[in-house]
Structure 1
Amino acid sequence: MQRSGWVRAAALACVAALALTGCAADIQPRVAAPGPPERTECGTLTLANLPWIGYEANLAVIGYLAKNRLNCTVVVKDLTAEEAWEEVAAGSTDAILENWGREGLKKRYIDEERKAVEHGMTGNRGVVGWYVTPWLVEQHPGITNWRNLNDYAYLFRTPTSGGRGVLLNGDPSYETNDRALIRNLKLNFTVDTVGSEDELIEVFRKAERDRRPAIGYFYTPQWFLAEVDLVHVKLPPYTPGCDVDPEKVACDYQPYDLDKIANREFAESGNPAAELIKNFQWTNAHQNEVARYLTVDELSYDEAAKKWLDANPEVWQDWLPAD
C-alpha cells in the first residue's frame, strides 16, 4: 500500500472505532514531566551547628565552599538536635549536616508534616556505644563483654556514686539509652554527665595517661580515637526494633549510616547550596582529619576547611553544582 493510502486508512479506522476504543486518547498532547527547579542565587544559607566536633568538621567544609564557591552568606546557629529539627521544619534553618537516626523526628517532620526531607548520605558510618580505655583492656580483657561488667564495677566507683560504677556521658543533649540499659541489664552502675564532648575526651585522655579506669558513652567517627584507641564494650547485639521501647531497651545501639536533613522548600528551591549539601559525601577518615585540625591544631573553621580542601580536590570537586 502506498504511504498516502495507508495514512487515510488508518485515520478512517480510528474514526470508526472511536466509540469503542477511544483511540482519540492516543493523540492527546502529552504533559512533559517537571524538570529540575530553575537555579537561583544562594543568598543567605542558614545551617545548624550541633555539639560534637565531627559535625563541626562537616560544617567547616560545607560552609567554606558555600561562601567561596557559591557566594552564599552563611549563618550558623548553635542548636541541640531537637532544636535543629524544629527549626528546619519551620524553615528558619535550612539544613542539618549530620543526623544520627532520630526515627521519631523523621516520622513527624518528614512523613507526617512533610516539612523536611532526607537530603543524602554523609558517607560516614556511626558506631555508638560504651567504650573503655585501651590500657584497661590490657589489664582486664574480659571487661569488653557486658556480662562481666558487674565484676569490674568497683573499678569505676567514686566517692559520690553510692558504691556503684560510674558510666560517663558527655553533652547533656545527647540522646542515650544508658540509664535504661543499666536497669534492664541489671548492672551495678550509674550515669554521670560531665557536660560536653570536650570534657569527656579529656577524662578519657587523662585516664589513659594516668592508667585510671574510665568507661563512657562514645562513638565513631571521632578524631580522638586516632589518639587514644578506645575499645567498644559489647552489649547484647542490636536487632531491628530492639530499642523501640526506651524503657525496655536491653541491646546495643544501632549502627548508623549518617545522613543530612533539609527543609523541604529549601531542598526543592533550586538553590545551589541545596545541591552542594546533597552532593557532600566523605569518609570517617576525612572527617576525623578536619576535626583534628579544629581541635589539636586549633585552626579556625575556614583555616581547617581550606587546608583539607587544598589537599583533597579529587574528593570535593564533584560536590559543586554543575555550571
Structure 2
Amino acid sequence: MRIPAWIRATSLVGSAVLALTACTADIQPRVAAPGPPAAIECGTLTLAVNPWVGYEANVAVISYLAKNQLNCTVVEKDLSEEESWKLLAAGEIDAILENWGHDDLKKQYIDDERVAVEHGLTGNKGIIGWYVPPWLAERYPGITDWRKLNDYTFLFRTPRSGGRGELLGGDPTYVTNDKALIRNLKLNYTVTFTGSEDKLIEAFRTAEEERRAVIGYFYAPQWFLSEVDLVHIRLPEYTPGCDADPAKVACDYQPYDLDKIANREFAESGSPAADLIKNFQWTNADQNTVARYIRQDKMSRDEAAKRWLDANPDVWRSWLPAT
C-alpha cells in the first residue's frame, strides 16, 4: 500500500525529534548521588582545670584523646570553680569536666540564661565531709560521732585556733559549709585553710605517720584514700533542701553524682570533642589511678593518661565519636 506523503513527512519529523531527544539525554550532566556529610574538624578545645588532682585526671585523659584521636588543639586554663562557670558562660571555656553540684549556678546559666548545658555524668560518686586519720578513730571511737566532737576539742587546739579545735580546709576557693556547720551545730572549732589540696593531704599523712590529732575537710574520689584510709565523721543526715540556705546549714554534705557542664554553643556544634566529653564516663577507682600517677608517681598528665589508656582500651574506645 502506498503511504501518503504527509504521513511519511510526519514520520520523518518524529524520528528526527526522537533521535535529537536521545542525543540530548546522553549529554545531560550526571548528578552524583548524595554522600555522607563532611566530618567537622575539632579545631581548638578549651578546658577548665579546677584545683584538685581528681579533676586533673579527667583533664589528662580527655586532653590526650582529643589530641591523639581527634586531632584537636587543646588549651587548658587553671581556674577556680566560680571562674570556670563565668568563662564558660562567656564562651571562653568549652567544658567543665567535673562539677560538684552548684545548683545556683545551674539555675543561672542553664535554666535562666541558657548559655550552658548539663553534658552527662562522669560516673564518679562524690562524697564530701569531715575526716580524721585512722589511728585517731581507733584510739577515740567516740570521735566519729559529731555530737561528741566538743568533748575532743582539746586534741585539736593549735597556736592558730584561739583555744578552739582546729578544723583544716584545703584550697580556700573550694565551696564548703564548714563555718556554717560549726556555728549551727554549736561546735567549739574554727576553720584554718591549708591553702591547697596537696598541703591538706600532707597534713593528714603526717598525722597518721606521727600519731597527731587532725580533723579536716576531705572528699572522695581521692587517690590518697588508698594510701591512708581516712575515717568519715557522720554529721546530721543530709536531706534534700537542708543546705538551701548556706547560712543555716546544719546537715552533712550532699552526696553527688558528678557531672560535666558544656557551653551550649559548643555542645550543639557537632564537634567531635563535644561527643567525646559527653560520652566520657569512668569509676572512682579509674580516676584515683590516674590521679596517683600524677601526684604520687610524678608523671606528666600526658604520661599518666597514656599509661591508663593503654591498659583500658575497652573503656575509652566507647567514648570516641561514632564517625
TM-score range (shorter-chain normalised) is 0.7 to 0.9
1:39 touches 1:270 (CA, 8 Å); kept in 2? no
Identify the residue that residue 184 of structure 2 maps to in structure 1: 184
Superposed CA deviations along residues 150-184 of structure 1, whole A, max 9, x for unmatched, are: 00011000023111000000001001000000000
Q: Structure 1 CA distance, aligned partners of 2:107 and 2:237?
A: 25
2:17 maps to which residue? none
Opposite residue 161 of structure 1, the aligned amino acid is S
Cα distance in 2, alignment partners of residues 38 and 145 from structure 1: 61
Whose Rg is larger?
A: 2
1:1-323 equivalent positions in 2, closer than 5 A = 39-323=39-323
Do the aligned partners of residues 137 and 265 (structure 1) sit closer, same or farther apart at CA in structure 2, a change above 3 Å counting? Answer: same
Unaligned residue ranges in structure 1 (runs of 5+): 1-36
Query: Is the contact made by 1:169 and 1:217 (CA closer than 8 Å) also made in structure 2?
Result: yes
Report the Cα distance in structure 1 between the residues aligned to 2:108 and 2:42, rounded to whole angstroms.
28
* In structure 1, distance between residues paired with 2:195 and 2:247: 24
2:314, 2:214 → 1: CA distance?
40
Partner Cα distance (2:138, 2:116) in 1: 47
Q: What letter corresponds to residue 87 of structure 2 in structure 1?
A: E
Q: Aligned to 1:270, what secondary structure does the other structure show?
A: coil
Counterpart-to-counterpart distance in 2, 1:118 and 1:39: 24
In structure 1, what residue type is equivalent to 2:111?
Answer: D
Per the TM alignment, residue 40 of structure 1 is displaced from its structure 2 partner at its CA by 1.4
Question: 8 Å contact 1:182–1:190 — kept in the other structure?
Answer: yes
For the 8 Å contact 1:276–1:320, the answer to whether it is kept is yes
Gaps of 5+ in 2: 1-36
Is the contact between residue 57 and residue 290 of structure 1 (CA under 8 Å) also seen in structure 2? yes
3-state SS of 1:247 partner? helix
Cα distance per residue 1:160-218 (max 9 Å; x no partner)? 31110000000010010000000000000000001000000000000000000011000
Task: Report the TM-score when normalising by structure 1.
Answer: 0.88
| SS of corresponding position for 1:276 | helix
For these two proteins, the number of residue pairs brought into alignment is 287
Aligned amino acid, residue 215 of structure 2: I
Q: State the alpha-carbon separation in 2 of the partners of residues 236 and 151 from structure 1.
A: 17
Q: CA deviation at 1:147?
A: 0.3
Moved over 4 A (4+): none
**Structure 2 counterpart SS, 1:155:** helix
In 2, Cα distance between equivalents of 1:109 and 1:160: 39
Q: Which amino acid aligns with 2:192?
A: D
CA distance in 2, matches of 1:261, 1:171: 22
Provide the C-alpha distance between the structure 2 equivalents of 1:160 and 1:68, rounded to a whole number of angstroms: 49
Could you tell me how far apart the structure 2 residues matched to 1:236 and 1:315 are?
38
State the 1:39 CA deviation.
4.5
Q: Which amino acid aligns with 2:272?
A: P
Cα distance, 1:142–1:43 mapped onto 2, change above 3 Å: same
- For 1:320, give the aligned amino acid: L
The superposition leaves residues 69-112 of structure 1 with CA deviations (integer Å, 9 ceiling, x where unpaired) of: 00000000000000000011111100000000000000000000
Q: Deviations over 1:248-298 (max 9, x none)?
A: 110000000000000000000000000000000000000000000001110
What secondary structure is seen at the aligned counterpart in 1 of 2:217? strand
Q: Deviations over 1:101-138 (max 9, x none)?
A: 00000000000000000000000000000010000001
Q: TM-score, normalised by structure 2?
A: 0.88
| SS of residue matched to 2:248 | coil
Task: Please tell me whether the aligned partners of residues 238 and 252 of structure 1 are also in contact (alpha carbons under 8 angstroms).
Answer: yes
Task: For 1:293 and 1:179, locate their aligned partners in 2 and report how far apart those are by CA, in whole Å.
Answer: 33
Rounded to whole Å, the distance in 2 between the matches of 1:107 and 1:154 is: 43
Q: Structure 1: which amino acid aligns with 2:190?
A: T
Q: Give the secondary-structure state (helix, strand or coil) at the position aligned to 2:247.
A: coil
CA RMSD in angstroms comes to 0.9
- Post-superposition offset of 1:38: 7.6
Letter of the structure 2 residue corresponding to residue 67 of structure 1 = K
Moved more, 189-198 or 38-47: 38-47
Q: Decide whether the 8 Å contact of 1:166 with 1:190 is kept in 2.
A: yes
- Between the aligned partners of 2:45 and 2:39, the Cα distance in structure 1 is 15
CA contact (8 A) 1:171 1:193 kept: yes
CA contact (8 A) 1:39 1:271 kept: no
**Aligned equivalents of 2:168, 2:150: Cα separation in 1:** 16
Following the alignment from structure 1 to structure 2, what is the Cα–Cα distance between the partners of residues 147 and 264? 45
